Amino acid sequence: MALAIMCSGGDAPGMNPAIKKFVDYAFKMDRETYLVYDGLEGLIDNQIKKANYKDVAGIVHIGGTIIRSSRSKRFFEYKYRKIAYKNLKSHGIKGMVVLGGDGSFRAMEKFSSEFDINFVGIPTTIDNDIYGTEYCLGVDTALNVIRDALDKIRDTASSFNRAFLVEVMGRDCGYLAVSSAITSGAEICVIPEKKFPKKILKKRLNKEIKNGRKYILAIISEGTKRTKEMHDWIENSFGLDTRVSILGHIQRGGNPSVHDRMMAFDFTIEAVNYLLKHDDSNKVVVFNRGEFSFMEIEEVVSNKYQLPQHLLDVIKYLD
């Protein structure tokens, strides 16, 4: 059985280390390996190429993905999924490792229910919002990118007696925002999962300003869609010149952290081993309490990720 690896959906640091480990480890297990370029679109267009060591040499430290990624509207149509299957079959590929998130796994669940193809998904998203796993590949690097930006923004905020409102990514999940707020010492954190206590915070921060506070650092999750509202509230409530920084896609880039590289290696080895031992594998590798396990794809995509209660409890200290 030949094996292939594909990236789908948003890119994340750690994809390249996973791709390299996939090729190296599959060769060690005496398996033919293929790289699917351009994600689901590449499956349809037969952008499937046999891999060799040269293809993955020197890529561990590079952000993004050398085989690129995509989101595909065509893949929702059966005729294109049938073309994709024929392309895989022509290369003798029956097992796939898929680096992606909920949308990618939903697409592969549909695909594998219609055709004789096995896959194992590796949760890969900086949003860290996939059900059933504590950790998604890429989130550690993204948090370090945010941490670096926040440290620099706090420097200028304190120098000019300003308030800075920093918008971070995360879709509808506040994981990046709350983790960054806690580790940067932010005074305000606004996330979709928790009601923002304006009156309480206004009272506390005005008291601190009277006692000498000169600046405020606020973190807001993009999923709240309240950046403009919070900017006006901060400026009007505390009388501080308030600036907005939207970090945007720099959070997706950058050299993968040591932790993301190590997790990429471990996730990939688990995925390949499972494919080699099972001929009906439509699973997602998940990581919980320091251990890897496998979850049915249907369970992953039919449930919604919930922010851990301990993070919600910790953020109460900012109120």
Return the beta strands (E) in 40-87 as ranges. 48-50
CB atoms within 10 A of CB 210: 8
CB-based burial label for 280 (10 Å; 0-12, 13-18, 19+): exposed
**Could you give the strand order of the β-sheet that contains 216-221, starting from the edge strand earlier in sequence?**
188-190, 216-221, 162-168, 241-246
Beta bridge partner(s), residue 3: 33, 95
The number of angstroms, rounded, from the C-alpha of 4 to the middle of its chain's C-alpha atoms is: 21
Instruction: Calculate the alpha carbon distances from 21 to 27, 112, 179, 263, 264 in Å.
Output: 10, 24, 29, 11, 8
Beta bridge partner(s), residue 296: 283
User: What is the rounded distance in angstroms from the CA atom of residue 208 to the CA atom of residue 202?
Assistant: 10
Q: Of 127, 129, 140, 260, which one is the catalytic site residue?
A: 127
Return the beta strands (E) in the chain as ranges. 2-7, 33-36, 48-50, 93-100, 118-123, 162-168, 188-190, 216-221, 241-246, 282-288, 291-296
**The tokens 């800075």 sit on which residue?**
164
The number of angstroms, rounded, from the C-alpha of 142 to the middle of its chain's C-alpha atoms is: 8
The closest of 305, 253, 290 to 14, measured between CA atoms, is 253
Q: Taking each helix axis from N to C terminus, what angle separates 258-277 and 15-28, rounded to the nearest 10 degrees?
A: 40
CB atoms within 10 A of CB 151: 12
Is 279 marked active-site?
no
* Residues marked as catalytic: 127
